[in-house]
Amino acid sequence: NYTTDTKSREENKKTLENLYSLSVDITKIRRLKEWVLLQDVAYVKEIAGILQEMGADETTVASIIERCPEAILHAPAEINSQRALWQLVCQNEKQMIKLIEQFPESFFTTEYQQNQKANILFFQELGLKNNIITRFLTSAPNIFYNPVEKNKNVIETLQRNYLNLGGSEANMKIWILKLLSQNPFILLNTSTAIQENLEFLQKNYFTDQEVLQLLSKLKGFIFQLNSTTMQKSMLFSKNIFKCSDQELKQLVLKCPALLYYSVTVLEERLEGLLKEGISIAQIRETPMVLELTTQIVQYRIKKLSALGYDIKSGNLESLNGTKKDFEVTYGKIQSKKERPIFNPVAPLHVED
C-alpha cells in the first residue's frame, strides 16, 4: 500500500524529529527501508506509546522500530487490535514485549487479523498449548494468514489418514499435536498433496504401519515433498547401495533422510564420506550418517581421530546423532582411552 518511489520525494521531517526524540538510529532505517521515512503519515509517538504502555523501555522501543520500521505506518487502532489478539495466548504483556522485540515483523503484520484470531481459537480448541501457539505466531506466522477452513481441512485430512493407516482414536490427538508442534509448516500444504504423498508410499510397498512410522520419524516433512523427488531419491539410493526393493524399504525406514533429501544433497554427503575413507558398505550399515552435513561429519571424524579412534575400521554409530548425542559418545571413548588398564595378576610394588 505504500509507495516505494524514492527518487522525487523527500523524507518526512516530522517523522524524523519524532524518531530522533526516541533515540532511534535513523541510518539503520535508511539502509533497511528508506521508503518508510518518505510516507506522508506516520504514527511514531502513538506506536511508541503503545509499546511503552506494554512495558517496553526506551531502548526496546528504539530496537523494535529499527528492526521493523514499517511499524510506525500502522494506525494505533490496528496495533491495539493486534495486541488484544496476542493477549489470547501470551501469559502477560512482559512476555509479549519480549516476543515483539525478537520477532517484530510477525507482530506488525496486521492485514490478516480476522484469520489470525479464527486460527488462534481453532488451535486452542484443538488442544495446542498457548506457549506452542505463541511459538507459531513468531516463527511460522504465515499459517495464521490462511483462512481457518483451509487449516481445518489439512488437519481433518491428517486425522482421517491416521485412522485409515491403523492409528487408534485414543492416540490420534497426541499424534496430531506432536506433528504440528514439530513442524507447523505442514499447514501450508494442500490436503491433496498430503494424500498423494501417502499414496506414493503405499504404492512403494510400505505397509500402513510403516507409513505411520515414517510420518512420525519425518516430523511431517514428508508433506512438503512430492512423489517425483521421492522417487528420484529412492532410485538413487537403490543404485548406490545395490539393494532390492525390500532392502531399500528397510534402509528408508532406518533413515527417512533417503526419502527426504534430494539426489544432489545425497550425492554431496556420500562424496564427503567416501573422501574420508568410509566405504559404501559402512554407510549402508549405518545410513543415518547421511542426515549429517559434510562439515559436521568432517569435524566429528577429526575429533575422534585425535583420540586414536579409526572410523574406517569401525562402524559409523559413533558419528551419529545430535550434537549432544555425539558429545556423550565422544566422552565415553575419551574416558575409556584415559582409564589405565588394570592387570589383576601383576605384582604390586609396595615399599617395605
Whether residue 111 is predicted with pLDDT greater than 50 in this model: the reply is yes
pLDDT value, residue 132: 94
The answer on pLDDT for 13 being more than 70 is yes
Q: pTM for this structure?
A: 0.77
Residues 172-184 have a mean pLDDT of: 90
Lowest mean pLDDT, pick from 46-55, 84-93, 192-201: 192-201
Average pLDDT estimate for 57-70: 96
pLDDT reading at 286 higher than 70: yes
Q: Please tell me the predicted confidence (pLDDT) of residue 71.
A: 96
pLDDT band at residue 2, thresholds of 50, 70 and 90?
low
pLDDT at 237 > cutoff 90: yes
Lowest model confidence (mean pLDDT) among 59-68, 130-139, 179-188: 179-188
**pLDDT reading at 349 higher than 70:** no
Looking up cell 511460522 gives 140
Q: Could you tell me what percent of the chain has a pLDDT over 70?
A: 93
CA angle, corner 164, sides to 158 and 167, nearest 5? 80
pLDDT at 338 over 80: no
pLDDT mean over 135-154? 94
Q: When comparing pLDDT for 321 and 81, which is higher?
A: 81
Q: How confident is the model at residue 265 (pLDDT cuts 50, 70, 90)?
A: very high
Measured CA to CA, the distance from residue 307 to residue 338 in angstroms comes to 10
Tell me the average pLDDT across 23-49: 95
Asked whether 10 and 38 are in contact (CB, 8 A), the reply is yes
pLDDT at position 183 is 87
Q: Is the pLDDT of residue 350 over 60?
A: no
Site of grid cell 527501508: 33
Is the pLDDT at 342 greater than 80, yes or no?
Answer: no
Confidence of residue 264 (pLDDT cuts 50, 70, 90): very high
3-state helix/strand/coil string of the chain: CCCCCCCCCCCCHHHHHHHHHCCCCHHHHHHHHHHHHHCCCCCHHHHHHHHHHCCCCHHHHHHHHHHCHHHHHCCHHHHHHHHHHHHCCCCCHHHHHHHHHHCHHHHCCCCCHHHHHHHHHHHHHHCCCHHHHHHHHHHCHHHHCCCHHHHHHHHHHHHHHHHHCCCCHHHHHHHHHHHHHHCHHHHHCCHHHHHHHHHHHHHCCCCHHHHHHHHHHCCCHHHHCCHHHHHHHHHHHHHHHCCCHHHHHHHHHHCCHHHHCCHHHHHHHHHHHHHCCCCHHHHHHCHHHHHCCHHHHHHHHHHHHHCCCCCCCCCCHHHCCCHHHHHHHHHHHHHHHHCCCCCCCCCCCCCC
Mean pLDDT of the chain: 89
Is residue 238 a contact partner of residue 204, using CB atoms and an 8 Å limit?
A: no
How many angstroms separate the first and last alpha carbons of the chain? 95
Q: Which of 43-57, 132-146, 302-316 has the lowest mean pLDDT?
A: 302-316
Average pLDDT over residues 200-209: 90
Cβ atoms of residues 25 and 62 within 8 Å: yes
- The larger pLDDT score, comparing residue 275 to residue 224, is at 275
Q: Where are the domains of the chain?
A: 10-110, 226-337
Could you tell me if 35 and 4 are in contact, meaning their C-beta atoms sit under 8 angstroms apart? yes
Residue with cell 579409526: 310
Query: Across residues 178-185, what is the average pLDDT?
Result: 89
Q: How far apart are CA 245 and CA 89, in angstroms?
A: 48
Amino acid at 325: D
The grid coordinates listed for 221 are: 516433512
Residue 121 has pLDDT above 90, yes or no: yes
Say how many C-beta atoms besides its own lie within 10 A of residue 228's C-beta.
Answer: 9
**What percent of the chain is predicted at pLDDT more than 90?**
62
Confidence of residue 309 (pLDDT cuts 50, 70, 90): confident
Average pLDDT (194-207) is: 88
**17 — pLDDT class (breaks 50, 70, 90):** very high
As a whole number, mean pLDDT of residues 308-337 equals: 83
